Amino acid sequence: MTAALLLRRMPWITRLGLLLVLLFAFLAAFGPWLAPYPEAEPVADVWQPIGTAGFPLGTDTLGRDMLSRLLFGAQRSIGLALVITVLSFAVGSVCGFLAAIAGGWADQVASRIVDVFMSFPALILALLVLSVMGSSLPVLVLTLAFIDGTRVFRLARAVAVDLNVMEFVEAARLRGEGIWWIARKEILPNALPMLLAEFGVRFCFSFLLISALSFLGLGIQPPAADWGGMVKDNAQAIAFGLPAPLLPAGCIALLTISVNLVVDFLLDQASRRSRRG
């Protein structure tokens, strides 16, 4: 199915979601160059209202420009979530495929290890690791990628277990092909639609988890701007009837909803094709 045909089949709400996803992707790529002020520099009085001359979205609790910090935060929040999701899929899907194809004790050991880590709530496990090892950027990325990778492992293994008993996989095995060849040439192409749909879901999970950790003070550290930390920094503005914390919170909600709208549509199209097939 071509991209043009897929776009024509989209309902208007999904088109709106796709447009917003592309807009956020553009802001993540070029936000720092579009920002009118440095992200950490106080430039005016605290909590200037929206529409103030020179500050269209007002200022925050330290007098920093909200628009600039939202643009810097877009790159940091979305970029980190994307890196974490790519890492989790690179490791989790490969390990899940190999475990399903190998079977036996290797599959059992890997699955039970993953079950142990999945028994902990993701946020609790992340808080535990970050409180012990610190919240530096490499530790944050690797911790969240590992947590998300366990979920990807379970999905990839479940899909690969079903594909592993198909005739084309048995034929490849009888030809003497190795585990890695079967995973790369037979399992991956057939599992790709499900993995791509899951990629959007896991991206939202990583994005929301980063925001939650930043709100709790164990994510991206100040003065670096990210949307979860901006909600925390400006939370007291609610008591004065100011919308400062609602701006980054709205960006978080809008991006999450937009990605889910697109993912739901793609899953529906994939389901329709499988039923026709």
Q: In the prediction, which pLDDT does 9 show?
A: 80
Q: Rounded mean pLDDT of 97-115?
A: 91
Q: In terms of residues, how long is the chain?
A: 277
Q: Rounded mean pLDDT of 146-159?
A: 93
Has residue 78 been placed in a domain?
yes
Number of domains in the chain: 1
Has residue 131 been placed in a domain?
yes
For residue 253, what is the domain's CATH number?
A: 1.10.3720.10
Please state the pTM of the whole predicted model: 0.90
Contacts of 144 (CB under 8 A, 6+ apart): 84, 88, 126, 206, 209, 210
- For 35-66, how does the pLDDT look when each residue is reduced to its tens digit (9 = 90+)? 999 999 999 999 998 988 889 999 999 999 99
For residue 226, give the nearest of 50, 80, 125 by alpha carbon: 80
Has residue 98 been placed in a domain?
yes
* pLDDT above 70 (res 276): no
Q: In the prediction, which pLDDT does 30 show?
A: 94
* pLDDT above 80 (res 277): no
Domain that holds residue 123: 17-24+63-275
Has residue 54 been placed in a domain?
no
Has residue 50 been placed in a domain?
no
- For 7-37, how does the pLDDT look when each residue is reduced to its tens digit (9 = 90+)? 788 889 999 999 999 999 999 999 999 999 9
Has residue 53 been placed in a domain?
no
With contact defined as beta carbons under 8 Å apart, do 213 and 126 qualify?
A: yes
Q: Rounded mean pLDDT of 120-135?
A: 90
Has residue 133 been placed in a domain?
yes
What whole-number percentage of the chain has pLDDT above 70? 96
Q: What is the mean pLDDT of the chain?
A: 89
Query: Where does the pLDDT of residue 275 fall: very low under 50, low under 70, confident under 90, or very high at 90 and above?
Result: low
With contact defined as beta carbons under 8 Å apart, do 34 and 71 qualify?
A: yes
Q: Rounded mean pLDDT of 75-89?
A: 95
Q: Which burial class, exposed, middle or buried, applies to 263 when counting CB atoms under 10 A from its CB (0-12, 13-18, 19+)?
A: buried
Has residue 73 been placed in a domain?
yes
